[in-house]
Structure formats: C-alpha cells, structure tokens
C-alpha cells in the first residue's frame, strides 16, 4: 500500500513541476515580449498576473515556483543579475500569498494583497541598496505593476477556473 501512495505523491509532484515549467515559461515570455521600459532602467510587465493566477488556481507551491522561475529568467535575460536574489524572494512571496489561503473566504483576497505589498517593499530595499535614494522612483511603478496585475489576475483566474473544470 505504501508503494501506491508513493506513486500518487510522485505524480502530483511531477504535475506540479510540469505546471511550474509551463506557466513559468509563459509568464517569462509575456514579460519578455511585452515589457514597458522605465526611462531610468527596469521595466513594467504583466508576468506577475501569471504568478498570481498560478497561485490562485494551483496553490502556493506552484504559484511560488512560477514566480521564481519567470522572474529569474526575466532578470537574467535583461541583464539585471544583481536583482536575482531579491526577485527570488519577492516572486516566491507573491505566489505563496496568492495560493496560501485560496479556499478561505476572506484571506483569499487579503493574502495576495499582502504578497504584492511584500514584493514592493523588498524591491524598495533592493533599490536603496543598489542605487541609493535615486532608485526609489521605481517603487511607485512597482506598486502599479503589483496591484495592477492583481486586479487582472482575479478575473483571469475565475475564467480559467471555469475552463479547467
């Protein structure tokens, strides 16, 4: 009996890995193909909407994995290597926040809001460490990206949830 349970657990983890790889690649491509550059460096993109939607639909681990994979690929492809440690942390928290309480009545809305706030605050710290106070202007755009993508992810995840049934 233990062997059958092991196979089921392995299938679930293979499914999650496939979801992370596929949705992470999709989020990266969306971010890479449609970036909106800031005049002082960095860029706005919609990949956070895919991270949030992944968390809403498939849970916190898939959401975190999608966010980390797409974020690291985007930073590496754009040459922002110094941001990779911050991106890993921010996108992990974003995906976890989206999926952690997805079945709870109130927390399913509050948790991703907190995840978006954590993303903005961690990147604010990154700008201070890497660029000094001059980089703080980017935080206003991070607010727009995080919460704008959240507003897009709520209806997108509802549509996809109906389609996946």
The whole-number pLDDT of residue 5 equals 53
Helix axis angle, 47-58 to 107-131, nearest 10°:
140
Q: Of all residues in the chain, what percent carry a pLDDT higher than 90?
A: 64
Q: Which long-range contacts (CB under 8 A, 24 or more apart) does 72-75 make?
A: 73/24, 73/25, 73/28, 73/32, 74/28, 74/31, 74/32, 74/45, 74/47
What pLDDT sits at residue 37?
80
Contacts of residue 159, Cβ cutoff 8 Å, sequence gap at least 6: none
Rounded CA-CA distance 85/147 in Å is 22
User: Quick one: tokens of 101?
Assistant: 């309480």
Q: State pLDDT tens for residues 49-65.
A: 999 999 999 999 999 99
- Please give the residue that has the higher pLDDT: either 165 or 146: 146
Rg (CA), the chain: 16
CA distance 85 to 4: 38
The yes/no answer on whether domain 2-160 falls in CATH 1.10.1760.20 is yes
- Higher pLDDT, residue 6 or 86: 86
Can you say how many angstroms the Cα of residue 31 is from the centroid of all Cα atoms in its chain?
11
Q: What is the mean pLDDT of residues 13-37?
A: 91
List the chain domain ranges: 2-160
Question: What whole-number distance in Å separates Cα of residue 143 and Cα of residue 9?
Answer: 38
Per-residue pLDDT of 139-155, as tens digits, reads 888 898 999 999 999 99
85-118 pLDDT per residue, tens: 999 999 999 999 999 988 888 888 899 999 999 9
Mean pLDDT of 71-77: 94
Q: pTM for the full model?
A: 0.88
Q: Residue 6 pLDDT > 60, yes or no?
A: no
Rounded (5°) CA angle 21-142-161:
45
Residue 136 pLDDT: 81
Contact criterion met (CB below 8 Å) for 62 and 16: yes
């Amino acid at each position: 009996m233990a062997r059958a349970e092991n196979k089921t657990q392995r299938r679930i983890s293979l499914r999650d890995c496939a979801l992370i790889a596929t949705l992470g690649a999709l989020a990266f491509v969306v971010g890479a193909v449609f970036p909106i550059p800031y005049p002082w460096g960095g860029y706005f993109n919609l990949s956070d909407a895919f991270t949030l939607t992944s968390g809403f639909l498939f849970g916190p681990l898939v959401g975190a994995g999608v966010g980390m994979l797409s974020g690291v690929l985007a930073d590496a492809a754009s040459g922002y290597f110094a941001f990779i440690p911050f991106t890993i942390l921010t996108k992990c928290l974003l995906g976890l926040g989206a999926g952690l309480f997805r079945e709870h009545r109130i927390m399913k809305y509050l948790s991703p809001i907190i995840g978006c706030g954590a993303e903005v605050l961690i990147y604010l710290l990154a700008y201070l460490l890497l660029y000094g106070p001059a980089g703080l202007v980017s935080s206003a755009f991070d607010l727009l990206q995080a919460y704008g993508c959240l507003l897009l992810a709520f209806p997108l995840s509802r549509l996809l949830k109906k389609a996946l049934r």
